[in-house]
Structure 1
Amino acid sequence: MKNIAIVGLGYVGLPLALQFSRSGASVLGLDIDSRKT
């Protein structure tokens, strides 16, 4: 299993994190806006 960290869950980061998660990776998402994490 792959571990991936995405810094910034905006227009690019959030869809990217979702796609990695759907493909089976373990994803950690980080953002300065606590509503997004």
Structure 2
Amino acid sequence: MRIGIDLDEILAEWMNSFIDFHNINYGTNLERKDFYT
């Protein structure tokens, strides 16, 4: 079995979920505009 992971947001947008997760768990206040990809 192989599992693929999409990290470039072509197939799925995951960055907003990651930012929410990080802000909740680490007490940060990151926004999408803080990242350059």
* Richer in strand (by share): 1
Please report the TM-score for the alignment, with normalisation by the length of structure 1. 0.38
* Richer in helix (by share): 2
Please report the TM-score for the alignment, with normalisation by the length of structure 2. 0.38
Greater relative CO, 1 or 2 (CA 8 Å, sep 6+): 1
Point out the structure with max Rg over C-alpha: 2
